[in-house]
Amino acid sequence: MKTPLTVLLGGLVIVYPFIVYFGLQYVEPRWLGIALLSIVILRFQLSKSLVNKMPWLPVSTVLGACVILFSIIINQDSGILFYPVIVNVALFLAFSYSLVRKPCVIETFARITNDNLSEKAVHYTENVTKVWCIFFVLNASISTYTTLCLSKEAWVLYNGFIAYIAMAIVFLIELLVRRSVQKNDENK
């Protein structure tokens, strides 16, 4: 069972863009960065048991902490704004690496509910992992664009809302495709 603190910190990580947007209106980037870095580190500490299932957690935490630390040191918002980019890059690296060093991330998730995956199912999980790799590259690219070229309002709209909607759409499409594939396999 998750502790209330774990749930709270997870929620704060999800609403990170809104914390940044509103926080920068009231405090210097340095102070906001210290608060955000504390959240990221504490969230990781409480999630250490997930590292075997989610090998990207340490990578994304370290890279994210580094860009936030950069903002703290120079007292500018640039590192804080790049945090979503770094998370997407870390996820891309972890997912793509898992395609080389098996099992892939999606296969690992699939084996949580079904340890006896067929060769066809393993191949399917590899394709889904590739789709997520493409998503992370596109998401990181758009997030970078919002960070470098657009207003903070556009940045928070994309990174705090549109990116999550896009992720949900990819997940739902994959779920529908998976159910269709499973149904076709059962009918054979």
Domain total for the chain? 1
Q: What distance lies between CA 130 and its chain's CA centroid?
A: 15
Helices 29-46, 16-23: inter-axial angle, 10-degree rounding:
160
Report pLDDT for 185: 67
Residue of 41, 180, 168 lying closest to 124 (CA atoms): 180
Question: Quick check: 158 and 146 in contact, CB under 8 A?
Answer: yes
Calpha distance 79→64 (Å, rounded): 9
pLDDT at 18: 94
Q: Is the pLDDT of residue 1 over 60?
A: no
In the predicted model, what is the mean pLDDT of residues 48-54?
76
pLDDT of residue 2: 66
The H-or-E segment that residue 143 falls in is: helix 119-149
By residue range, what is the domain housing residue 25?
A: 4-187
Residue 74's Cβ-side half-sphere holds a number of Cα atoms within 13 Å equal to 10
Q: Which residue has the higher pLDDT, 174 or 184?
A: 174
Per the listing, tokens 């990578």 go with 59
C-alpha distances in angstroms, 44 versus 11, 53, 89, 156?
A: 13, 14, 18, 23
The model's pTM is 0.88
Element (H, E) at 22: helix 16-23
Check residue 104 and report its DSSP letter.
P
What would the pLDDT profile of 54-113 be if each residue is shown by its tens digit?
Answer: 777 788 889 989 999 999 999 999 999 999 999 999 899 989 999 998 888 888 888 888
Q: Which residues contact 82 (CB under 8 A, 6 or more apart)?
A: 67, 144, 147
